[in-house]
Structure 1
Amino acid sequence: MSWTTHQINGLNAWTGRTSAMEVTLLPELGSKMVSLRNRLTGREWLAPAGGPLGNRGYASSFADSDGSGWDEMFPTINVCRYPEHPWKGTELPDHGEVWSIPWKAEGQEDDRLSCSVHGVRMPYRLGKTYSFAAEDRLRIDYQVTNLSPFPFAFLWAAHPLLHIEEGMEIIVPGELREIAVSYSERDRLGMRGDLRAWPRPFPNRPECRLDRTGRREERTAEKFYFTDELPEGAASVYDPVKQEGITFTFPKEKVPYLSVWANYGGYQGQYHLALEPATGFLDDLAHAMKQKAAAVVEGGGTYTWHLEVGWTKGKL
């Protein structure tokens, strides 16, 4: 296990690898992960950029970025205004603050990589440390430090845009039965907040299944959250043809929500899928706070969680 530094398009890059996994990050580009490769099969799991890597800087629209890789969404996803004292009325940018600004990266002696960034409009420090829990499993430990004396609410979500093919399986705990719509292109699944059954949202249209990746030609795009309490923090995408997959695991006590972004050509013509463990509900921090569905770190305190990513092998 080791980390090395190099350059990608003039940007400093860090690559960590084991016998089974290779990971590449760009700290200067919001600490975006641009590659997550299975070295045993050669499969690249992250969606590539359709054009030049990059974004238009702090508070720019995520739609104007490269639409690739894995970014961190924090402290909101949708644009909103913080609703409580002492930052009441402060506007938080699209997809949060941290995906569009440089992070500091530092290799550790114990084969870990630590990255950190400070808030722009809110007083916090967000840190994450990458390590390999096994040859085929990456672990990311997160820590939010509140640099103020007041309680600070936040919404974090992982945003790994996965490189997919038609017919791949989306696997979540079997007890989950219902989703809430956050976004649906042309309102195919309904309006924001509408509830639908999982995995078949329409009783009269059994052919419509949300647990299988669709074709790019379908021109659909949806974001939805599971409304049921997670029995465990786990979600996977599996390729039944090549019999390999990727699995995300996380502590449900700290990360109690799971959402899915399924873009089959409907948004900007892009084709990818994201499984998004989250600390808040329905993308809007202000909404989540009103629903008591946001994480809170007390004044001067810290909030920690982790996420592990590993390979699924063989037939499920």
Structure 2
Amino acid sequence: MTGAEVWPPGDPAWQPRPLAVRTDLGLGGRWTALRSAARDGVPEREWLWRNPDPGVAPARAAVRLGAAFVDAGGVEECFPTVRGLPDHGAAWSQPWTADEGRQQVRAGDLCLARRMRTDGSLAVDYTVTGPPGTPFVHAVHALLDLSPAARLHVPEARTAHVLDHPVDGAVAVLPWPAGTGATPLDRLGPDDGTATAALLPGCSTAAVVDGSDALVLRWRVTEGDPAATCSLLLWRNLGGWPAARPYRSIGIEPMVGTIATLQGSGPGRPASTGVGGGLCWELTITAWRQS
């Protein structure tokens, strides 16, 4: 199945909706809004989830490089790792710079740059540069505001690498979408007190369908390491995390690499800057609504 076949499913009632994005370079390049609108420009839906805790926004604003991750919502750029040290990488916790439409940040020896274009869909072109052969992981940590009825469609998925199962640090390779509990992983609610992180290796297309709305994501490596593989990272927190004050949050995270950390064990491998010292990949997001 190709990305074009994911959504809409041959039904003319589904029509594309233009998307608009807003970012905050001072806060780690974070995406703070991703809105779809009707043809006349009237806003219809905000896709990004925000943590409703009133203490989170000031805590996020006070973050400095090396700080513990603050789960404020929106989209965070997790680079050059997702898990490990620093948690969620280094790109999210320091200011970015911009020059003629190119937004960028340094993380050690590596530089992550992006260009964002909106023409109905949202297209993001990423470039990673650094010493040849440097390993990295890059995940677009998108926390979406979804109802308990939402479903995740990943046509390329066959297996899921469920992280921290059955114990912290372990990785269980299981059929998709069965997962580890009674609720299949492609069902994004209702809340059941669980929290699951699952990496779907080799996937480059996903669709989230929530009632009469759908969001389709497609990504691919365009230049660099020919061995680099795309994946999808799913964070399905149905009121199971954190232990003290759990809440609901759903992360749909396109990424390059097939492992979530540079230091840990388990199946998969990171991406790399390759022999040429660089890798480019692109992410395209399209919104749809059923009339």
Q: When the two structures are superposed, what TM-score results if normalisation uses the length of structure 2?
A: 0.80
| Aligned 8 A contact 2:83 2:260 in 1 | yes
2-side partners of 1:124 and 1:176: how far apart? 30
Matched with 2:140 is 158
2-side partners of 1:99 and 1:172: how far apart? 27
Matched with 2:188 is 213
**Residue 180 of structure 1 is aligned with which of 161, 175, 181?**
161
Matched with 2:97 is 104
Partner amino acid, structure 2, of 1:71? E
**Residue 110 of structure 2 is aligned with which of 124, 144, 148?**
124
Partner amino acid, structure 1, of 2:241? Y
**Residue 43 of structure 1 is aligned with which of 42, 45, 53?**
45
Give runs of aligned pairs for residues 27-38 of structure 1, distance below 5 A.
27-38=25-36
Matched with 2:261 is 284
Write 1 or 2 for the structure with the bigger share of strand: 2
1-side partners of 2:86 and 2:235: how far apart? 19
Give runs of aligned pairs for residues 219-298 of structure 1, distance below 5 A.
219-227=193-201, 229-230=202-203, 233-240=204-211, 243-251=212-220, 254-268=228-242, 269-287=246-264, 293-298=269-274
**How high is the sequence identity, in percent, across the aligned residues?**
26
Q: CA deviation at 1:257?
A: 1.5
The range that moved more, 26-35 or 175-184, is 175-184
**Residue 56 of structure 1 is aligned with which of 50, 63, 66?**
63
The answer to which structure, 1 or 2, has the higher relative contact order (CA under 8 A, 6+ apart) is 2
1-side partners of 2:185 and 2:63: how far apart? 33
Relative distance call for 1:183 and 1:42 in structure 2 (3 A) is farther
The range that moved more, 158-167 or 256-265, is 256-265
Q: CA deviation at 1:313?
A: 3.0
* Structure 1 residue ranges (4+ consecutive) displaced by more than 3 angstroms after TM superposition: 252-255
Are positions 1:67 and 2:72 aligned together? yes
Aligned-pair Cα RMSD in Å: 2.5
Matched with 1:310 is 286
Q: CA deviation at 1:127?
A: 0.5
Partner amino acid, structure 2, of 1:277? P
| Aligned 8 A contact 1:164 1:271 in 2 | no
| Aligned 8 A contact 1:263 1:270 in 2 | yes
| Aligned 8 A contact 1:159 1:275 in 2 | yes
The SS at the match of 2:240 is: coil
| Aligned 8 A contact 1:140 1:307 in 2 | yes
1-side partners of 2:71 and 2:261: how far apart? 22
State the number of aligned residues. Answer: 258
The SS at the match of 1:28 is: helix
2-side partners of 1:300 and 1:171: how far apart? 35
Q: CA deviation at 1:46?
A: 0.4
The Cα offsets for residues 153-187 of structure 1, whole Å up to 9 and x where unpaired, read as: 101111000011101010111x5232111146xx5
Gaps (5+ residues) in structure 2? Answer: 1-16
Gaps (5+ residues) in structure 1? Answer: 1-18, 80-91
Q: CA deviation at 1:292?
A: 6.5
